[in-house]
């Protein structure tokens, strides 16, 4: 059993204490799609239109359940296999076409998850290390981070494409720790997908699940330490306040 899974099961019902064991906090890691920004509707729209054009699923548009099960949070290689199990190359070509459509839509419509900039200030004020860790292709990741005004915020951007294994494997998150020179015992993660939460939990870190689009009961199957609606959720700020208190006690004692 991983540390974060056991903390979820054994912790008191008071969710504000769930992150306090990380004090003193060193780093915060973020997924990008659906975590920093509400991008899943744009991905869903792009896939739906392209699949309709080729008569996929008998011409019936893919619904949200199909999107969550086969696409959300996954690397394009895995999406290609899910959509075209007998023709991987065709699946890859479709995902490449979809990324072009997505970047056009994102340039026009991308919005941050509520409360993101307040959390950004909280992290900066404490001088914490931070990295973005994503299964998105580099052009997508860089575009989203730039559109959100976060290009100078992140110390590192770790891509599943540039690891031997993408999420749900823990490697991208372990690589982020290595690059930041941070300890998993003093770092936590924000994620919005089952795939991403599984990666963070497998890397041995607490994960805060953001229920932007994915349903909370699905995220809970991956054993996040805490779930919040967005970065403005009072549950998150209560947990951060407790973490601050614990960190200042540790500092004073040291």
Q: Copy the structure tokens of residue 183.
A: 């300890």
pLDDT in tens, 85-143: 999 999 999 999 999 999 999 999 999 999 999 999 999 999 999 999 999 999 999 99
Residues taking part in catalysis: 31, 33
Q: For the chain, state the CA radius of gyration.
A: 18
Domain 18-38+111-253 homologous superfamily, CATH = HAD superfamily/HAD-like (3.40.50.1000)
pLDDT in tens, 36-79: 999 999 999 999 999 999 999 999 999 999 999 999 989 999 99
Domain residue spans of the chain: 18-38+111-253, 40-109
Q: Give SS3 for 170.
A: coil
Q: Cα(6)–Cα(221) distance, rounded to whole angstroms? A: 13
Residue appearing with tokens 């890397």: 203
Cβ-count burial 157-170 (b if 16+ within 10 Å, e if not): bbbbbebeebbbbb
Q: What is the pTM of this model?
A: 0.89
């Amino acid at each position: 059993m991983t540390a974060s899974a056991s903390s979820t099961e054994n912790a008191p019902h008071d969710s504000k204490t769930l992150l306090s064991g990380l004090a003193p906090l060193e780093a915060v890691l973020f997924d990008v799609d659906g975590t920093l920004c509400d991008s899943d509707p744009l991905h869903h729209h792009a896939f739906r239109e392209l699949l309709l054009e080729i008569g996929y699923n008998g011409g019936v548009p893919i619904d949200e359940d199909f999107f969550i099960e086969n696409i959300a949070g996954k690397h394009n290689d895995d999406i290609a296999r899910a959509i075209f199990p007998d023709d991987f190359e065709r699946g890859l070509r479709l995902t490449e076409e979809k990324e072009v459509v997505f970047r056009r839509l994102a340039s026009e419509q991308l919005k941050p998850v509520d409360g993101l900039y307040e959390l950004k200030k909280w992290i900066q004020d404490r001088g914490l290390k931070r990295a973005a860790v994503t299964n998105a292709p580099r052009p997508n990741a860089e575009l989203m981070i730039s559109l959100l005004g976060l290009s100078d915020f992140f110390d590192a951007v770790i891509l599943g494409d540039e690891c031997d294994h993408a999420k749900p494997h823990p490697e991208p998150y372990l690589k982020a720790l290595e690059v930041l020179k941070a300890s998993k015992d003093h770092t936590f993660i924000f994620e919005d997908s089952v795939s991403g939460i599984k990666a963070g939990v497998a890397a041995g870190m607490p994960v805060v699940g953001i229920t932007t689009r994915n349903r909370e009961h699905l995220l809970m199957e991956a054993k996040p330490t805490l779930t919040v609606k967005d970065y403005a959720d009072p549950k998150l700020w209560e947990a951060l306040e407790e973490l601050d208190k614990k960190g200042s006690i540790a500092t004073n004692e040291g």
